[in-house]
A and B are shown apart, each in its own frame.
Chain A
Amino acid sequence: MIEEPTSTEDKEQAPVVAGLVAEFPSPEALVAAAAKVRDAGYRFWDAHSPFPVHGIERAMGIRPTKLPWLVFAAGGAGAAGALLLQWWTNAVDYPYLVSGKPLFSFPANIPIIFELMVLLSAFAAFGGVLVLNLLPEYRHPAFSVRRFVRATSDGFFISIAASDPKFDAGAARALLESAGAAAIDVCYAPAGVPRLPAGLKWSLAVAGLLALLPPLWIARQRQVPSDTPRLHIIQDMDFQPRYAPQGVGRFFADRRATRPPVPHAVDVGGLQTDSHFHRGQINGQWAATFPIPVDREQMERGRDRYNIYCAPCHGLAGEGDGMTHQRAVTRREPGWVQPRSLHAQNVREQPAGRLFHTITHGLNTMPGYAAQIPAADRWAIVLYVRALQRSQHAALDDVPPELRPALLQESTRP
């Protein structure tokens, strides 16, 4: 409770007359009296009743409120804002492609447009009625009249403010009496202005300033580059319970977290029924023939794949001197084994299926390439390797007769 002012000055101050409050016996009497007060030319006056009295607006000359326009504007802003929001977020800034539907389609946006229109209109209607009515107003002079409490129950009142240019206590009282007032009281302005204790004011100001610090700090942290990961208040994504590969788990009797395939399960693409194509074998023997067509197209494909996957070690010509080897020699890598030359006798004598097998599974220090190179491409590479081998071990008779002279001429050059 705020203590009563005790200084003598405050006590001696005479209360300021704020106006007159007159009570009337019924709604009809109120309407009739209101018309008289209006006709007398008063401006700062009002009627008070526990419910809206029919016809009082006309009797008092109240002009229609601007509130509907306010609500209309807010509703329009809500609808337009919702339309813009949906268009910009879903069709421009982050286009949502849903089942190939258009990025922006008005009908699907109607529910949000409608809801935001209603929401903003309702805020405008509620806020508007309070602002236009100058509410809250906890210290109105009329509250100083004891009988005025009945204005919210069963009393009908007219108040004339002393601030009215035409106000004269005697004339106003006479007017109200002639209008049929049952009782007339003088109301006084609320004594003094309520003041907050100085300490409270300062502590509120300090608290307000301190409250600004966290948002400022957050804003700074979001803008400044940082070497460490961002601080996550919600760490759902930082700790994801899971088992490491090959780890121990508690869900199965064998306590293995990594589950082995179900017996007899075949993974996609793993059903390799063509022994020639997938394993390079015919009836358990290395195949000497190709399961792919032997033509220029496959040869070109084989060269392309060979130069990508094989040449780095085996060299573009298959001599076993690719750039990896050159570099290892330059750096004198300990334990380096030179890649096999594809022109070695034993390699040349291997059947095509054996070469395919080597590419698939690797040999000695060479890894298998089944994961990187599909089977058809591996066969194309075998085909190209065969061509490389032939290029280094061909007889003159293998060359078409019209090219032989040129070849001979080239070989005799110094």
Chain B
Amino acid sequence: MSSVALPAFDNTTDDPTGRAPLTAPGQDFASITETVCRVVERPRPPLGWYVGFAIASAWTGVFFLLVVYLVSTGIGVWGNNVPVAWAFDIVNFVFWIGIGHAGTLISAILFLFRQKWRTSINRAAEAMTIFAVMCAGLFPALHVGRVWLEYWLFPYPNQMALWPNFRSPLVWDVVAVSTYGTVSLLFWYLGMIPDLATLRDRAAGTVRKFLYGLFALGWRGSARQWHRYERAYLLLAALSTPLVLSVHSVVSTDFAVAQLPGWHTTLFPPYFVAGAIFSGFAMVVTLMVPARAYFGLKDLITLRHLENMNKFILATGCMVGYAYALEVFAAWYSGNQYEWFATVNRAVGPYAWCYWTMVFCNVAAPQLFWFKTWRTSPWRMVLVAILVNVGMWMERFVIIVVSLSRDFLPSSWQIYKPTWVDLGMLAGSFGLFFTLFLLFCRYLPMVAMAEVKAVLPQSHGEGH
């Protein structure tokens, strides 16, 4: 169990005489290249990778088999039924799209704020964003039922002489999520070009040399190229920053614009964005703690990186807790009996256990991060992060399903029960996510080498 041993150095303290180092001592340009490329170049990955990949790809297979079953049979194989017309499909969609937000926050917002510690984790977090958006996009695409008519979502001249209603939040959603996925992919790929060139120049095999070379586009680190590249990177970061805030705000309008008690509130956009970043950071911690241990990246992804993310979890967790309190207050203060009923129904109704699981996981559990031992102990923080992930999934369930199950017409009230297909597709989406992430770990540079090198003390000339 050498991977559990404490690292030899501690950069989690704040010494007022200087900045804490961002990487383990003794790193230079060559050692960073070596550390990161070794993960991809070693002939076989650690055993844990195979075990994880076998499980994840099996669930991916289950997911796509269930997709075939769903599309060929119809939406009725899910448990959705009036009044709960949106259930696991939309819960999973909002959950996954929220996960993605931490990646963009790390790569874009922290870049604009010149937070240099982002360089060690941004690549993996952006990859997580893209895979999460892919998982997210599948659910609304499947939930429309007739997937072969998906092109109706786009404005194209047609013989029906119809156009999409651009004032509908559901259309905003399509545009926002697809823009977000596209821009995240461009940002991720642009950031990876110099590192792909590194892999190309080190590649031994012909196939590797060809493929890495193809995607590295002939990058040769020219100063004139770097100049435009840095400007493009800054522009993409500046574009992604408002974009990421807009995406979950738009998702929240899917609910807030509706008149259903429990949905119809102006609190939703900031509440959703805070929750998205909260859940996303929890997922980054869940992924990075094992990844840095298994792939020998502890010198680059240090405890300080993890601790910083845990501080984000604590801060956004408090925001989410505040939003829960404000939701109750707004329902009471509105004087609207339906709003108040929806709120009370969450806490003491048939789904009360979901509500209290959500409160425990999202509000109580992150409070442990006030203690430094919890912020800096890898396996403890994973425990909290997993609780947060559970809690954030439950939050979407509470908002969507619990509100719908008891709407305006008491004679229509129904308790929603997921079918085995619902549960299989939830697990399958995790399988897809982890499959893609494991493939990423195996074949692409997990740490942005060029960016880490740029923030090393040597790159600025020590002593200046």
Contact = CB atoms under 8 A, between A and B. Distances in A.
Nearest to B223: A47
A126 B202 contact: no
B228 A65 contact: yes
Interface stretch (A89-97, A342-350, A364-372, A396-404): A89-97
Given A93-B163, A112-B171, A112-B172, A53 B459 contact: yes
Interface in B90-110: none
Nearest to B34: A153
A54 B460 CA distance: 7
B10 interface: no
A45 to B, nearest CB: 10
Given A50-B194, A51-B453, A152-B201, A115 B155 contact: no
Interface stretch (A136-144, A177-185, A287-295, A302-310): A136-144
B444 to A, nearest CB: 15
A154 B33 contact: yes
Interface in A117-164: 118-119, 121-123, 125-126, 128-130, 132-133, 135-140, 142-143, 148-154
Contacts of B206: 1
A271 to B, nearest CB: 24
Contacts of B134: none
Interface in B228-269: 228-232, 235-236, 239, 242-243, 246, 250, 253
A27 B183 CA distance: 32
A49 interface: yes
Interface stretch (B174-182, B332-340, B353-361, B411-419): B174-182
Contacts of A47: 222-223
A150 B397 CA distance: 52
Given A85-B155, A116-B175, A118-B183, A137 B217 contact: yes
Interface string B311-338: 0000000000000000000000000000
Contacts of B201: 149-153
A48 B175 contact: no
A377 interface: no
A34 to B, nearest CB: 7
A317 interface: no
Contacts of A138: 213, 217-218
B113 interface: no
Contacts of B242: 114, 118
Contacts of A121: 235, 239
Contact of B222 (A48, A119, A143): A48
A3 B222 CA distance: 31
Contacts of B371: none
A53 B453 CA distance: 10
A319 interface: no
User: Is the interface on chain B under 10, 10 to 19, 20 to 34, or 35 or more residues?
Assistant: 35 or more
B176 A54 contact: no
Given A27-B458, A126-B232, A153 B29 contact: yes
A149 B202 CA distance: 7
B454 A52 contact: yes
B440 to A, nearest CB: 20
Chain A contact patch, size range: 35 or more
A143 B217 CA distance: 13
Interface in A1-32: 1, 26-28
Nearest to A56: B223
Contacts of A151: 201, 220-221
A49 B221 contact: yes
Contacts of A135: 217-219, 225
Interface in B199-219: 200-202, 206, 213, 217-219
Among the interface residues A85, A96, A101, A128, which one has the most CB atoms of the partner chain B within 10 A?
A: A96
Contacts of B197: 152
Contacts of B19: none
Contacts of A65: 227-228, 231
A85 B186 CA distance: 25
A381 to B, nearest CB: 45
A254 B151 CA distance: 43
B172 A90 contact: no
B221 A50 contact: yes
A50 B453 CA distance: 8
Contacts of A126: 186, 189-190, 232, 236
A341 interface: no
B165 A96 contact: yes
A295 B243 CA distance: 74
Interface stretch (A103-111, A194-202, A244-252, A405-413): A103-111
A209 interface: no
Contact of A111 (B149, B155, B246, B458): B246
B30 A154 contact: yes
Interface in B132-156: 146, 148-149, 155
Contacts of B219: 135, 152
A224 to B, nearest CB: 14
A140 B213 CA distance: 13
Nearest to B453: A51
28 contacts: A47-B223, A50-B453, A53-B223, A54-B460, A57-B227, A67-B228, A67-B232, A89-B155, A89-B163, A90-B163, A90-B167, A93-B161, A94-B163, A96-B167, A98-B165, A98-B167, A105-B167, A109-B167, A112-B172, A115-B172, A118-B183, A122-B236, A123-B186, A128-B228, A150-B201, A152-B197, A152-B220, A153-B201
Given A34-B223, A51-B459, A52-B223, 19 more contacts: A1-B206, A51-B221, A62-B224, A65-B227, A89-B163, A94-B161, A111-B253, A115-B246, A122-B186, A129-B232, A143-B220, A149-B202, A150-B201, A151-B221, A152-B198, A152-B220, A153-B198, A234-B148, A236-B149
Give the 10 A-B CB pairs with smallest separation, nearest first: A154-B29, A89-B163, A149-B201, A129-B232, A136-B217, A47-B223, A137-B218, A51-B454, A52-B226, A108-B167
Interface of A: 1, 26-28, 34, 46-54, 56-57, 60, 62, 64-65, 67-68, 71, 85-86, 89-90, 93-94, 96, 98, 101, 105, 108-109, 111-112, 114-116, 118-119, 121-123, 125-126, 128-130, 132-133, 135-140, 142-143, 148-154, 234, 236
Interface of B: 28-30, 33, 146, 148-149, 155, 161-167, 169, 171-172, 175-176, 179, 182-183, 186-187, 189-190, 194, 197-198, 200-202, 206, 213, 217-232, 235-236, 239, 242-243, 246, 250, 253, 449-451, 453-454, 458-461
